[in-house]
Amino acid sequence: MDPLFPMEPKSAATIPVSSKWIAQIKWDGVHILTYFDGENTRLYNRKKKERTQNYPELTSIQTYCSAEPVILDGEVIALGDNGRPSFHKVMRRDGVRNLDRVQLLQHQVPITYMIFDVLFSNGEWMTNRPLSERISLLSEIITPNDHIQLVRSHENGEALFKGIKSSEMEGIVMKQLESSYYIGEKNEVWLKIKNTLDVNAVIGGYTLSGGVVNAVLLGLFDGQGQFVYIGHTGTGKFSVQDWHYLTARLRLIEVPDRPFANPVERHRDANWVKPEVTAKIHFAEWTEAGKLRQPSIQAMLDVPPEECNFRNT
């Protein structure tokens, strides 16, 4: 089976109120499609990059799925110390490149695959069937275990979003019960309503304290390919080890001149770098000056810098 680009929800500011819609939690994890051809299991992220070896807990698909062949859609999550999904933690699993460390990380960062859709089952495409039918099929073919769970659907999106806000989780996804699955598309039949805003940004500079990075300067590419400064942050989910790792990584790509096309705050003691390293940033809102308010760094990303642009925000 060749990997596909998954369907993704469109951003929205309001929650539909109708019996034609259901609400699901938007898990703060890594979007993963699972493919099983009857013999081999393969896992791919939304960019069609293989992640089979990163998540060996999910490869024995016949222990939790009775359909074959099958294509499942879901999100791999890892829980933080507060019991809520942590994107920073799951990226420790998704971002590992030394596969010898996977076995150790299985114990340090346990993961759960939250399954919310099925594209192909027992030799038939399910994508043109209504979501309500696909959800019903999932309950028949999936047996939950310690690493596998089905995403629950809720009738009241406003009530679910209120609970999400009080739990400080990422948001919800509203889905039309009669909707098809549109491979590789963003469609208004799925809407994401976020409690926290985030952006994938590129690091263009940094400041030091005691020889270790204590803040990074962030930017996005505009329509003309210029690298535009959008703010800086020194807070977030990073451990001391993470900051030391980032320091070593950024020192390797230092450049003498400022990479940003516009003026930069805190530039007097800044060290400049090639805009190559990408990160997920949470923030409160965009300011009138086009900067991030209250940004915090969540995790390093395996995302090409050119994809971190204003069009994709």
pLDDT tens per residue, range 85-102? 988 889 989 988 888 889
Give which of 103, 6, 5, 109 is closest to 53, Cα–Cα.
103
Query: Quick one: pLDDT at residue 96?
Result: 84
Q: What percent of the chain has pLDDT over 70?
A: 100
In whole angstroms, give the CA distance from residue 4 to residue 144: 25
Point out which residues pair with 83 in neighbouring strands.
none
What pLDDT band is residue 2 in, cutting at 50, 70 and 90?
Answer: confident
CATH architecture of 197-312: Beta Barrel (2.40)
Task: Locate the DSSP E strands across 138-185.
Answer: 148-150, 171-176
Domain coordinates in residue numbering, the chain: 8-194, 197-312
Residue 144 confidence (pLDDT) above 80: yes
Residue 230 confidence (pLDDT) above 80: yes
8-194 placed in CATH 3.30.465.10: no
Residue 266 confidence (pLDDT) above 70: no
pLDDT tens per residue, range 19-39? 999 999 999 899 999 999 999
